[in-house]
Amino acid sequence: MSFQLVFLWSDKLIFLLLAVAVATAIYVRRHEHLLLPWKRVAKNGVAMVSLLVLSLFLLVGLLDTLHFRSALPQTGGGEKVYSPEVLSVFDTLVGPLRTHTEKTYSEPFALTLYAKESMTDAHGNILRDYPRLQYGGAHLADVSQRTADVAKRALIGGGLGLLVGLLSFYLTHRTVRCTSGCDLAVSIATLLLTTFIGAVVSLATVYHVLGTDKVGQDVLYLSLKSIRTGLIIGTVTTLVTLPLALFLGVAAGYFRGWVDDLIQYLYTVLSSIPSVLLIAAAVLMMQVTLDTHPDWFDTAAARADMRLVALCLILGLTSWTGLCRLLRGETLKLREMEYIQAAQAFGVSSLRILTRHIMPNVMHIILIALVMDFSALVLAEAVLSYVGVGVDPSMISFGTMINAARLEMGREPMVWWALAAAFGFMLVLVLAANLFADAVRDAFDPRLNRTETAT
């Protein structure tokens, strides 16, 4: 089956980030003084377990970044035509989750719809009952068989996942040497994750593990598709924030004088404007531009993706003030240190002082602030989508799921599983990012490292 590769703007930014990350890793590996803090991170069991969880989220996001359009069937020998629907490699891998849609709501592991409907029995009588699902549990003849079938499939899938975990454990220990504490924590986490994933994969083939939404889509599929949106908002936005905050904050703290006054005035004025109103105004202006130029996009996915990238840019341009203020304060303190004054007395250029002495000593602030901002941006997307200025409504994200669940929580009977799924995935993503950020901060903070050395 032929297909056409599709490169959205967000895809290009992700590939650029990957290239920068690989280049940075190669550079750090060749310099021992840069590699040493990361070795400290590798000795932290909590950090490595958090990195393992984050790696799973990143894997899903990367698979969902490889987009393509399938070729439509041809009746003659004309030019090949491609489907307007843009799919990803992830969509292909989880095809049943995407295509097995029900009529409307259904609970996790349910065999019937969530609400009663009028039905006609074999004798032609009209009665009110719960209709059977088309795909969820369709292989079962009766609901009484569900408990045993779920347990059986979970044990089989979990057992296969455990075998995969043990195999990876064996191969890793033959090729990689790790410290004992880190080794034990990562090994246990790997076995637990592979067992859990194996059980979920086995159950998801025949059940809706997290139920279905209003239009019958699998909530597990929606939750997994939301990961890419959250990662893009968190990473692309922080990369817009970093150059502004780093350049302006360090310049204000080091040069002082009129430079400091100008930068302080800039971020004070920007901070005084309510962020939600500023973001809403920028998003609405961007939305008007997109609506008046529909010819810019050949697919609906390209239009939704452009709104996502524009949202990241807007968030980045309006959220750099906090980090800038922190870097200014830290640079003011570092500027008065003896080794900085000695470098100035010896005639060392300001550029060299900034790159050799200031930057390494504020790196821990940058790292922890960026990762904490990543977590805050993932959560902020839900708030912005709630007020209607987030991602495009056609794009799957945690925010759109929570916005849809707002009305579902108020109906009777209450539909709780969509909100619970979005909350659970966001909690794991944000918690893993914060725990890893704490370990990175401790490893890069020169004051903590000096204390450990003195002890």
Nearest to 198 by CA among 157, 164, 151, 163: 157
Specify the residue for token string 């940075």. 24
Where are the chain's structural domains? 220-454
Contact by Cβ (8 Å): 291, 378: no
SS (H, E, C) 283-340: HHHHHHHHHHCHHHCCCHHHHHHHHHHHHHHHHHHHCCHHHHHHHHHHHHHHHCCHHH
**Average pLDDT per consecutive 10 residues, the chain (455 residues; last block may be shorter):** 82 88 86 82 87 92 90 71 85 89 88 82 77 86 87 93 86 58 77 92 91 90 92 85 88 87 88 81 83 81 87 86 88 86 84 83 79 79 77 85 80 84 90 86 67 50
Residue type, 394: S
pLDDT of residue 199: 93
- Interhelix angle 446-454/417-444, rounded to 10 degrees, is 60
Report pLDDT for 282.
Answer: 84
pLDDT at 343: 84
Task: Give the model's pLDDT for residue 446.
Answer: 59
Distance CA 294, CA 302 (A): 11
> So what's the pLDDT on residue 76?
61
| Beta strand 126-129 pairing with 117-120 | antiparallel
Give the pLDDT confidence score for residue 74 in this predicted structure: 72
Q: What is the dihedral of CA 339, 343, 345, 348, to 10 degrees?
A: -170
Beta strand ranges found along 14-123 (DSSP E): 67-70, 87-88, 117-120
CB 207 within 8 A of CB 109: yes
Reading the block at residue 357, the tokens are: 């002495």
Backbone φ and ψ of 122, nearest 5°: -65, -20
> What's the length of the chain?
455
Sign of CA dihedral 382, 383, 384, 387: positive
Do 165 and 139 touch, CB atoms closer than 8 A? no
pLDDT at 96: 87
Q: Residue holding tokens 């968190």?
A: 234
Superfamily of domain 220-454 in CATH is MetI-like (1.10.3720.10)
